[in-house]
Amino acid sequence: MAAGRDLPAGWALSRAGIFLTQPINLIFLGVAGIIAFLSLYPTFFLIYGSLTDAPLGVPGHFTLNNYIRAYSDPETYRLIVTSFVFGLGASGLSVVLALTLAWITIRTNAPFSRLFELTAIVPNIMPPILIAISWVLLLNPNNGLINASLVKLFGWQQGPFNIYSLPGLIFVEGLILTPLAFLIIAAALKSMDPALEESAKTLGSSEFGVARRITLPLMRPAILAAGTLNFVRAVESFDTPAIIALPARIEVFTTKIWREALGSFPTNHNLAATYGVGILVIALLFVYLYRRFTSQIESFSTVTGKGFRPHQIDLGPWKYSASLVALLLLILMVVLPFLVLLLVALLPYYHVPTWQTWQNLTLDNFRYIWDTSRVHRAFANSLFLALVGASVCMLLAALTSYITVRTKIAARGLLEGLVFIPWAFPGTALALGLLWAYVDFPIPVYATIWIIMIAYVTRFLPYGLRAVSSTIIQIHKELEEASVACGAGFFATFRRILIPMMRPGVMAGWIILATIFMREFSATLFLYSPSAEPLGPLLYFLYLDGMRGRVAAIGLVISVISILLIAVAQRFSRWEKS
């Protein structure tokens, strides 16, 4: 550094010149510019909001009072601890379930694994609030379907399950978070070289020993990625706590934020932003920990130049048991909540079914979808957002991930931090930041479909990034080096070597994003205009109006469409590979 000061100015300029001649550096600048803008522009308004005493857009005074109010209350810390327990429990459960399911469907020869793999994604398509409601209808102590059936069957006084408890809250959130963890872990399992496992086996390890000593440690980046994402997602979620924690009288951090800031009247944006900064600090801490735990990148590189094909472990007669375990998990994650939603969609109003119920079943809610042009338009808008939005987002994610994992460019860690900033704010708080950032933007994007796409990319880039990073970590550098040695430039190497090798991660990220974009609303709500309405807001107001039957019916149709899309996309990606 000291030497740098003595060098003539021309030298620095020529260094900058050299920096700019490298295509990767130009790409770094481009990507960094886009991400910095997407992330910092709305965040600036939120941080500014946390430091002023007036609503955004109204001249105010600088103040630290919001921080004092939010963080001098001992209750805040008590609730952060509860939120930590909740977040760790839910993300832990999701990772364990996802790992089990992914291992069975990807690495073993258990029958029906393709079908299981496809089904495991379904809950990501449904708005989380619907899944939480389904579980309340199944497990509430008064007349939950499972409790009521058990009471009837065994003549008990009351049902054994109570959803309104911390374990109940963790259970439901864990199930909601599982598909995301599944997609990330499955992608990493798919691109893992089995040579190490085979060596261990040759040396006398049992299947279980291989899983514990080889597979699990190699999966560490993916497990940590999934765990980190899901932890923060649980800590900042309000949907499930609102449905389950409120009646259970369990307070978490987000219910406090809701009471004091977002749900206060009028909304206290300044305080909401201040609380958001707290969640941001937690999220960034986790990103830092993640980077530390995966810093010795080479040790995870298992995809090398040697030809390999992820082989399947022959479980012998145990393969049916493995299928059974997967089936049981999917019954919990998908079948039970979806049967409830189907019932909600088919009943004129939801009630515990009796024999009389079967005479009241109606297709009215599905007819509403069929007959209403507004619903059709919303489907078209959301499909566009899902297909184009997820693709744009994954392109950015792949480039960012390459830069942060592969290059030695100085500010690459910062780039990763940037991506996570907007994601750490509670959805409604970020929505306000986005509203303020873009309402008066020189390019008139406000209240068009493009602003929604900007919002989606801003908020959900971390999912894409995590999915693709945990597979890029596995790709050994020798492949790129070989390509470069053969005279290929950066773009050719990126297109011919990296993109194909990253495909499982890119695909997983794309599916996560496309399924979220099909029904997202909290970031969109303030930005769309009624003439460009996507499905998320439509579902939101139907829900507000108490039309659960329609919400469930639309949710089911979205699920079917998304599954078809995913199946086609997966087939397409496999076809390209061969």
Partner 1 sequence: MLRNLKAFLIFLALTLVISGPAFAQDAKLIEAAKKEGGKVVLYGSLESDTVEAVRKAFQKKTGIEAEYWRASATKVMDRALNEYRAGRPLFDVILTNDNPLQIMQKQGVFAKYESPSAKDFPKDAIDPNLGPRYRNVIIGIVYNKGVIKSADAPKSLEDLLKPQYKGKLVMPDPTQHTTTTQWVASLFKLMGKEKSDKFIRDLAGMKPILVESLLPAAERVTTGETPIAITYVKYAFIFGQKGAPMDYVRLEKMLGDGHYAPLSNKAPHPNAGKTFIDFFLGDESMNIMARMGEFVNRKGVFPPLPDADKIQFVEMLDLDTKGFAEKKKEYAKIFLR
Residues that bind partner 1 (CB under 8 A): 55-58, 136-137, 140, 142-143, 242-243, 246-247, 249, 251, 255, 258-259, 263-267, 269, 348-352, 360, 432, 435-436, 439-440, 446-447, 525-526, 529-531, 540-542, 544-548
- Cis previous bond, 266, omega within 30: yes
DSSP conformational letter for 298: G
How far is Cα 344 from Cα 366, in angstroms, rounded to an integer?
12
Q: Hey, is 533 helix, strand or coil?
A: coil
Closest CA to 569 of 400, 402, 394, 307: 394
Instruction: List Cα–Cα distances, 284 to 248, 277, 415, in angstroms.
Output: 31, 10, 12
For residue 352 the two structure tokens come to 């515990």
Query: Least distance to partner 1 from the beta carbon of 136, Å?
Result: 8
Report the sign of the C-alpha dihedral through residues 470, 413, 31, 432, in that order.
positive
| Residue whose CB is less far from partner 1, 270 or 470 | 270
| Residue whose CB is less far from partner 1, 141 or 310 | 141
| Residue whose CB is less far from partner 1, 268 or 474 | 268
Query: Least distance to partner 1 from the beta carbon of 224, Å?
Result: 33
| Residue whose CB is less far from partner 1, 128 or 179 | 128
Query: Least distance to partner 1 from the beta carbon of 58, Å?
Result: 7
Query: Least distance to partner 1 from the beta carbon of 242, Å?
Result: 5
| Residue whose CB is less far from partner 1, 201 or 377 | 377
For residue 313 the two structure tokens come to 């472990």
Instruction: List Cα–Cα distances, 189 to 99, 108, 214, 216, 507, in angstroms.
Output: 9, 11, 12, 10, 13
Query: Least distance to partner 1 from the beta carbon of 549, Å?
Result: 8
Q: Hey, is 102 helix, strand or coil?
A: helix
Query: Least distance to partner 1 from the beta carbon of 65, Å?
Result: 14
How far is Cα 72 from Cα 69, in angstroms, rounded to an integer?
6
How far is Cα 525 from Cα 541, in angstroms, rounded to an integer?
10
Give 173's contacts (C-beta < 8 A, 6+ positions apart): 86, 90, 234, 237, 240
| Residue whose CB is less far from partner 1, 154 or 265 | 265
| Residue whose CB is less far from partner 1, 318 or 366 | 366
Query: Least distance to partner 1 from the beta carbon of 321, Å?
Result: 37
The type of residue at 71 is Y
| Residue whose CB is less far from partner 1, 330 or 542 | 542
Instruction: List Cα–Cα distances, 524 to 263, 543, 561, in angstroms.
Output: 18, 16, 21
Query: Least distance to partner 1 from the beta carbon of 275, Å?
Result: 15
Query: Least distance to partner 1 from the beta carbon of 331, Å?
Result: 23
| Residue whose CB is less far from partner 1, 156 or 491 | 156
